[in-house]
Amino acid sequence: FVPVERDPGANIERYAAGCADILDNSSARHVIGCVTSWSRKEVIPTLERAGGTLWYACPYEGFEANDHVVYMHACPNQQIVPMMAYVVPRFGANGFLLGSNYIWGWETNRVARDLIADAGGKVLGERYLPLGETEVSRLVAEIEATRPDFILNNLIGTSSYAFFRAYAELGRRDPHFRPESCPILSCNLTECELAAIAGIGDGHLSAGPYFHDPAQGGAMPASSFEAAAHASVLALAEILAVKPDAQWTDLPEMFAGRSFRSPLGNITIDPQTQHATLPVRIGRIEGAAFTTVSHLRSVPPDPYLSRYDRGATFGRPGLRVIS
């Protein structure tokens, strides 16, 4: 590979332009990049116009399957659904939902609302903050008043870190809000962010297809984002070794019946939806790493939750006799 790099600097207006520059002014037809769903959606029209492919290596909210995107990280049935299946029987079904005010927070909380209802619980609050907002006192006050069983955290970046700090202070005042009784749940928190919540994140939970083993040192990817990006490079390399001029139209045929070695293990990519089959891990924060508390080795993607089964996830509801 000869890399062609463009850095949008986290400026949303530069993603589509950078993607267009790569596809229009180089021989590259495949782009590995974007972090937020906002940035992914910004580049899709450019990919469609220029005939390129985005290999997307971050968790996302699902309900999308674009022919010009390969989804290499977790969709809802590989993160929020197993997370809720793990948490509800251990902590309870009543949740408080938080999110940054953009598509990841909106859509992940929408799915969570349905899951909480299926589990027999209640959404005790749902609040959003502007991207980057760090004033979280009103969120903490509502959580303290409603006393949920868990907090689903779809805040990102500095907003998330500010909430962890304020929630730790709440836990010092009231034992109900400590992680062993009312944990914070995340589906996009990785090892790369643990330094920002050092000493206040321990005991809280995150879902992902991969957690770094500190015993491996620098030999393995540092987070699931890096592991999925590395898996994208390896899968693309295998495809181009077979068909050096592979275009987006060739990918379904190249994915069919093939598995790819990667830091995530051997994975397959569904030719219809172009989503990867992935392991699913639930991790508990312990210092600068996660300890895996639940592990499913291979979960096929279901981006539209068309195969979701309430009974299989939460058990069949008991019958009540009413006189």
Q: What is the DSSP string of 270-291?
A: -TTT-BB-EEEEEEEEETTEEE
Looking at every residue in the chain, the average pLDDT score rounds to 95
Residues 6+ apart with CB under 8 A from 190: 206, 208, 223, 224, 225
Cβ proximity of 261 and 234 under 8 Å: yes
Q: How many Cα atoms sit within 13 Å of 20 on the Cβ side?
A: 10
Buried b (16+ CB within 10 A) or exposed e, 2-16: eeeebebeeeeebbb
What are the pLDDT tens digits along the chain (323 aa)?
888 999 999 899 999 999 999 999 999 999 999 999 999 999 999 999 999 999 999 999 999 999 999 999 999 999 999 999 999 999 999 999 999 999 999 999 999 999 999 999 999 999 999 999 999 999 999 999 999 999 999 999 999 999 999 999 999 999 999 999 999 999 999 999 999 999 899 999 999 999 998 887 778 999 999 999 999 999 999 999 999 999 999 999 999 999 999 999 999 999 999 999 999 999 999 999 999 999 999 999 999 999 999 999 998 765 556 66
DSSP state, 248?
G
pLDDT in tens, 17-68: 999 999 999 999 999 999 999 999 999 999 999 999 999 999 999 999 999 9
Q: Which residues partner with 128 through β-bridges?
A: 99
Residue where the block lists tokens 């079904």: 93
pTM of the entire structure? 0.94
